[in-house]
Chain A
């Protein structure tokens, strides 16, 4: 199985700050990676797929990059509504696996 490791586990930042979350895979797989946002008590939402493609309706302040084993989600200017937990997920092989999550708090 491919293990996905996210860092940091949590981050607290102010409105307008640039926030970066990283995801490292235990083995390389090109760009078969997605990022999801989950708010408490809600289902996750797809933000980014294929490592860098913005899903429909997702604000352009979200961006993704990377390939192989190292991936990054960037929020260019943090907004109050961006609080929640962010997960990376690989779709290179079965079983699909998620990172452990990064909790984002807006100060």
Chain B
């Protein structure tokens, strides 16, 4: 069974950093791109970024709202993807989901981890 499990969320002050992890199992993690999508409380879905597999160069794309503040990486030996979030803002408060890319779409999602940015 394909599973993705996020961890690392919590309460953080504005301007500080937080790193989220996304552990995959039940599939060949290294073969798949991984995306991050967030959802602010009571709001819709916002794509954050994507990291491709090494087959496709491991290249990364970001949403403009997080570029230069967030960094996506992956450790295929551990089947984990990371979202390093720096210079956090109150508007970054959201549930963060990682998901496996199925072609150009998101077919398996984690349960999400809540990040609250507040003083």
B105, A91: Cβ atoms under 8 Å? yes
| Contact in complex: A55, B107 (CB < 8 Å) | yes
Residues of A within 8 Å of B110, CB to CB, are 43
Majority secondary structure of chain A interface residues (helix, strand, loop or mixed): loop
Q: What 1/0 flags go to B35-78 for Cβ under 8 Å of A?
A: 10100000011110010000000000111100000000000000
List chain B residues, Cβ under 8 A from A98.
44-47
Partner of B44, one of A1, A55, A87, A91: A87
Are B44 and A43 interface neighbours, CB within 8 A?
no
With A43-B97, A87-B44, A97-B47: A32-B104 Cβ-Cβ less than 8 Å: yes
| Contact sample, A vs B, 5 pairs, CB 8 Å cutoff | A46-B106, A94-B50, A95-B61, A98-B45, A101-B44
Mark B residues whose CB is within 8 Å of A: 35, 37, 44-47, 50, 61-64, 97, 99, 102-107, 109-112
Please report the number of residue pairs spanning A and B whose Cβ atoms sit closer than 8 angstroms. 58
Alpha-carbon gap, A91 to B107, bound state (A) = 13
- Among B62, B97, B104, B105, max chain A CB count under 10 A is at B105
- Which B residues are in CB contact (< 8 Å) with A87? 44-45
Tell whether A96 is near chain B: CB-to-CB under 8 Å: yes
**Nearest B-chain residue to A43, judged by Cβ:** B109
Rounded to whole Å, the gap between the CB of B106 and the closest CB of chain A is: 6
CB distance from B91 to the nearest CB of A (A): 16
Q: How far is the CB of B97 from chain A (nearest CB, A)?
A: 6
A35 to B50, CA, bound (A): 19
